[in-house]
Every structure is written in structure tokens, then in C-alpha cells.
Structure 1
């Protein structure tokens, strides 16, 4: 990984590669197992909270329930599985990561 932006302050570690920003600011003592595990869980989490994703009864669509309702009261979306995949493909293309 090659940094392509200036480090704004001493001690901060920033890099941008292929449209993805990485901020390596947290410093954790290797003996602090609780904080280390918490950071690892954060980094390893999936892009979609699977516990909030379910199939509709007819098994044709996906329901994704939001952690917090939107201002208009919307608390979930119903999607065709292909629409969910297309959303992630679109996000990757916006980041310049298509085909990776």
C-alpha cells in the first residue's frame, strides 16, 4: 500500500489506494485482549448486518430492516436479491473497484 495523501498530523496513518481510504489511527497494546478483540470484530464485520436480513415468506424477495428508522418512518426495504447485488456492484464501480 502506497500513501497518496499527506498525513495531516504527526502520528496519524492515512492511505488511499484504488479509491479506498484506510485510517490506521487506533493504537492498541497487544496485551489488551478486550480492545484488540473489539477492533478485530469491527474490521471483520460483514457489509450487511445478516441478522437484519431475511427472506419474505414466498422466498422471492429480501427484507432488510434498518437499525434505526428513517425520518419518514421507513424501517425496512424489500428488495429482489439481484437488486441487492446490483447495489454492491454499483458501490464497487463508484470506488473504482469493479472486477475485484
Structure 2
């Protein structure tokens, strides 16, 4: 399965989820979380931050999201976490 970077129409394609996440974290500008102000890597890591550090209600209010937006991001997190080696990603990003 190929993984495509969906940040701002980037479109870069990777053979595995780990490579896509590392690309997102290192090649794209880091946004500020609209809930708490923390600057985080974009893409999967930003979504994971929003959904593990904040409530769904906080996310909806801060980002003007609706229930469909929340379900889409939750599905993406689940899909990635089912296949990605998150420990390998963390190790690579610490370098």
C-alpha cells in the first residue's frame, strides 16, 4: 500500500506509513496547536496530538470542525496505528 502526504497538496508518495510520517514531520512547517499553542510536526503527529492531548469538543471548537471531520481523523489515526511502527518513527525523529 502506498502512503501519500496530504499536507497542502504535497502529494509525495511513500512505500510505508513510517516514511510518510517522517516526511511530514521533517519537510513541512510545524503548525501551532489551536487549542494549547504547542508547536507540533504537521500531519499524523499533529492529529495525534490534538486527539490525545485534548477532548473532541476542544478540537471541534478550536478548529471549526464537525463530527465528520472528527470521524475522518479518528479513522486515519486508527489506520496508521494499525500498520505503522511508532517506536521506529520516534527513534528516527530523535536523530
Quick check: TM above 0.5?
A: no
**Higher percent of residues as strand:** 1
**Higher percent of residues as helix:** 2
- Which of structures 1 and 2 has the bigger CA Rg? 1
Q: TM-score w.r.t. structure 1 length?
A: 0.25
Q: TM-score w.r.t. structure 2 length?
A: 0.25
